[in-house]
Amino acid sequence: MKMVTAIIKPFKLDDVREALSDIGVQGITVTEVKGFGRQKGHTELYRGAEYVVDFLPKVKIEAAVKTDLVDQVIEAIAKAANSGKIGDGKIFVSSIEQAVRIRTGESGDEAL
């Protein structure tokens, strides 16, 4: 079992969700987050005073998937979230030690 965590541009969320549904991902968790990467921040203006917004809004997607699906998931996200411009985000993959479905008590791959 792997946890695929992707930080993407907010306006790409719908595309990524559809791409993941198409390859059979059963569920994802989405969080609105803020952060910075090489894109850095941008400046805004309020009553004549400029201020730097250091942390840009992004969306974090977490998908717990079976190990054999990981490459497909990465490819789907990378394709759907790509705008070709700076700030498209990153994908991280980590291992999951255990998973349990609360309603039935199923565990492991069955719970995903």
Partner 1 sequence: MMENNIFELQYAIDTFYFLVCGALVMWMAAGFSMLEAGLVRSKNTAEILTKNVTLFAIACTSYLVIGYDIMYGGGVFLAGIDGGETLVDDALKASAENGFGGDSVYSAASDFFFQVVFVATAMSIVSGAVAERMKLWSFMLFAVVLTAVIYPLEGNWTWGGGSVFGMYNLGDLGFSDFAGSGIVHMAGAAAALAGVLLLGPRKGKYTADGKVNAIPGANLPLATLGTFILWMGWFGFNGGSVLKLGDIANANSVAMVFLNTNAAAAGGVIAALIVARLLFGKADLTMTLNGALAGLVAITAGPDTPSPLVATLIGGVGGVLVVLSIITLDKLKIDDPVGAISVHGVVGLWGLLAVPLTGEATLTGQIIGALTIFVWVFGASMITWGIIKAVMGIRVSEEEEYEGLDIGECGLEAYPEFTGSKGSGL
For the record, the structure tokens of 107 come out as 């565990």
Residue 22 in contact with partner 1, rule: CB under 8 A: no
Q: Name the one range near partner 1 by CB under 8 A: 5-13, 40-48, 57-65, 74-82.
A: 40-48
Q: Say which residues have a Cβ less than 8 Å from residue 99's Cβ, sequence separation at least 6.
A: 1, 64, 107, 108, 109, 111, 112
Shortest distance, position 45 Cβ to partner 1, whole Å: 5
Shortest distance, position 23 Cβ to partner 1, whole Å: 31
Closer residue to partner 1 (CB): 44 or 106: 44
**Residues within window 50-79 making contact with partner 1, judged by CB under 8 A:** 50-51
Shortest distance, position 86 Cβ to partner 1, whole Å: 23
Backbone φ and ψ of 85, nearest 5°: -110, 165
**Element containing residue 30 per DSSP (H, E):** strand 29-35
Q: Amino acid identity of 97? A: E
Is residue 72 left, alpha or beta, with left meaning phi > 0 and alpha meaning psi from -120 to 50? alpha
Among 42, 49, 94, 97, the residue binding partner 1 under the rule CB under 8 A is 49
What residues make contact with partner 1 under the rule CB under 8 A?
A: 44-51
